[in-house]
Structure 1
Amino acid sequence: MTSLAETRRRAVGPAPAARRRGAFLLATIAVVALSVVLSLALGSRWVTLQEVLDGLSAWFEGRTAQQIGAIAVQERIPRTVLALIAGAALGLSGAVMQAVTRNPIADPGILGVNTGAALFVVCGIAFLGINATWQYLVLALVGGTLAAVFVYVVGSLGPGGSTPIKLALAGAATTAALSSLVSAVLLPRIAAMDAFRFWQVGGVAGADWSSLGLITPLLVVAAAVAFLCAPTLNALALGDEVATGLGVNVTAGRLIASAAGVILCAAVTAIAGPIAFVGLMIPHVARLIFGPDQRWLLPICALGGAALLTVSDTIGRLIGSPGEVEAGIVTAFVGAPILVIIARRTRMRAL
């Protein structure tokens, strides 16, 4: 029989956990809000909080600010919005891919999605002369999708099907091969290299409202699909056999969630370049705080990714002033040690 103490503990147990998660969620939202203020206020010219408010007020009213500080704020709004949207999409994409593959080091960069998108964009620049945002978007989506499918097929070959280790190895090999193809296409074509090299680093400096308007509806739909897949991802974490026993269509669920993750990553890559490590770092930090429940993890990864990329862009502007260091370089500088730590911890567990 269940004791009275056990019954009471089970009855009151979830409430403190929910309150703790709610408190962390509010803290994450506050961090995102702070990152927005810092992004608008800091750069080659620092502005005051009052100038930030004046610039935002003028922008909402559809007029041009008069003070130079407020004008600087208005010019920073598009890149801040892009950093928020791109970071949220990359954090969400990384969480989905880690859940689908059950691999703690899976992210769009490691699984070849970024490089596949980059290869198709390079070929479009070199051979088709593309220069419109929608052309970048189409090619990035096609390239990222084909790369993801190829990695999954290769990682599923042989006994045991698609294991986390096989997917990671297939992704690493595919990334290396596609990177070589990118170099092979670019090296003899100086003009294409000049057009590509700024995009390749990854950043949000070239944000404009037309490109944001193009990708935002696609990202909203993909994010909604990812959130709806949260119960399926929770079931997949228990293993395919258990998920099937719970009534989950494993193949369909994995394909739908993977498609959402690829679209989230490829659409961002089309206009911001292949920004690495956001999708790798954020899910690990979120799991440490919120646990493995995807219903909490996915929105937290979106918020955390938005904050990380926005802060990285701000840091890049500060350390590179009067120029700037692209956000993709900052995230790589922060993410490389994190990847080493994750790899060491994973290896120790395997031993």
Structure 2
Amino acid sequence: MILASLLLGAGPISAHVSLETLTGSTHPDAWFVISELRFPRTVIAVVTGLALGLAGALLQSMTRNPLAEPGLLGVSAGSGFAVALAILLGASTATLTTVVAQLGALAGCGLVIAATRVQGLGNDPVRLVLAGATLSGLLLALTSMLMLIDQRAADEIRFWITGSVAGKPLAVLATTLPFIGMALMLVLAVAKPLAAMSLGEKAAVGLGHHPGRIRLMVTLAVALLVGSATALAGPLIFVGLVVPFITRAIAGPDIRRTLWLCLPVGPAVVLGADVVSRLVAAPAEMPLGVVTALIGAPVLLAIVRAGRMPSL
């Protein structure tokens, strides 16, 4: 997928010319496109896919719900709304945008945890997703209202609604990689306790783990991952659903194996969607968020219609 991302694009530079350029031939225009346009968006797509894949797997394990996903439950929408509000208020630095995205994602995670505590809601995957969809819709509506207030900020805010990894310099990673690094340390710390919690909270306590502390660490990790991904690419929906669905099909229900497999599968899904977004409407590009929705919606329907959603 990395190679496809470097070779394929919506512009006039063909895959053959791009391959020749990568193997040493002199094509100045092609080299500029690859090095300045395709390479940065490839790296950003890899980081975004890794973050959203891990976040989805963590959310599903914590809520024991195979339909839990940052985009469906309002975590991504909360992050995007916070960024949109910050832009409207005059925020412009990448650092501030990243921090605000983390706070918005943290608020969304808090609402997810609160929803799982509602009687009868946390144990019903479909009802939880419907509640999350309602929250996401509300936040997206509020974000749209912000666009009407200030036309100057409307173009910037529109990015957070559609989602894209195009046109971003590699410098944006400088503000997000530290947060992702902290999240990865939290993932390493909670992987084994989450596997124990899959046996039930009483079993986890009997093995010496503290469910409340584990939930807090998972919440922080998800907020860091989703906030970073949103700061990089906007609110991308369904990635956190598709990636764990694929990894569980390969690795089984063990959350530790699922988390490890999310590292390559997450970037592969986002890279594949980004390549499709360049080619499906060439010479124009379709927003990445639209492509991820088109890919993820059938997966969601397949899980629901199967009628035998795996117990996490």
Using structure 2 for the length normalisation, give the TM-score: 0.90
Alpha-carbon distance change, 110 to 348 in structure 1, aligned in 2, over 3 angstroms: closer
User: Any idea what the Cα deviations from partners look like across 1:36-59, whole Å, max 9, x if unmatched?
Assistant: 11111111222342312449xxxx
Alpha-carbon distance change, 269 to 249 in structure 1, aligned in 2, over 3 angstroms: same
RMSD of the TM alignment (CA)? 2.2
User: Any idea what the Cα deviations from partners look like across 1:242-286, whole Å, max 9, x if unmatched?
Assistant: 211221111101210221122101111012100111110111111
Q: Could you tell which deviates more after superposition, 110-119 or 67-76?
A: 67-76
Q: How does 1:164-175 map to 2 (within 5 A)?
A: 165=125, 167-175=128-136
Alpha-carbon offset, residue 167 of structure 1: 4.5
Q: Which has the larger radius of gyration?
A: 1
Letter in 1 for 2:109: A
Alpha-carbon distance change, 86 to 186 in structure 1, aligned in 2, over 3 angstroms: same
SS of structure 1 residue aligned to 2:265: helix
Does structure 2 retain, via aligned residues, the 8 Å contact 1:137–1:266?
A: yes
Q: Distance in 2 between matches of 1:117 and 1:256?
A: 18
| 2:44 match | 82
| 1:59 match | none
Match of 1:281 among 236, 242, 259: 242
| 2:158 match | 197
| 2:280 match | 319
| 1:72 match | 33
Q: Distance in 2 between matches of 1:148 and 1:295?
A: 21
Match of 1:97 among 47, 59, 65: 59
User: Any idea what the Cα deviations from partners look like across 1:119-156, whole Å, max 9, x if unmatched?
Assistant: 11121122x11222112111111111012112322431
Alpha-carbon distance change, 294 to 215 in structure 1, aligned in 2, over 3 angstroms: same
Does structure 2 retain, via aligned residues, the 8 Å contact 1:236–1:250?
A: yes
Alpha-carbon distance change, 209 to 95 in structure 1, aligned in 2, over 3 angstroms: same
After TM superposition, the runs of 4+ consecutive aligned structure 1 residues lying more than 6 A away are 347-350
Q: How does 1:10-21 map to 2 (within 5 A)?
A: none
Q: Distance in 1 between matches of 2:69 and 2:275?
A: 23
Aligned residues: 305
User: Any idea what the Cα deviations from partners look like across 1:69-94, whole Å, max 9, x if unmatched?
Assistant: 22222121111100111011111110
| 1:123 match | 85
Letter in 2 for 1:114: S
| 1:36 match | 2
SS of structure 2 residue aligned to 1:323: coil
SS of structure 2 residue aligned to 1:187: helix
| 1:270 match | 231
Q: Could you tell which deviates more after superposition, 80-89 or 44-53?
A: 44-53
Query: Percent identity between the aligned chains?
Result: 37
Using structure 1 for the length normalisation, give the TM-score: 0.81
Q: Does 1:51 align with 2:32?
A: no
Does structure 2 retain, via aligned residues, the 8 Å contact 1:202–1:275?
A: yes
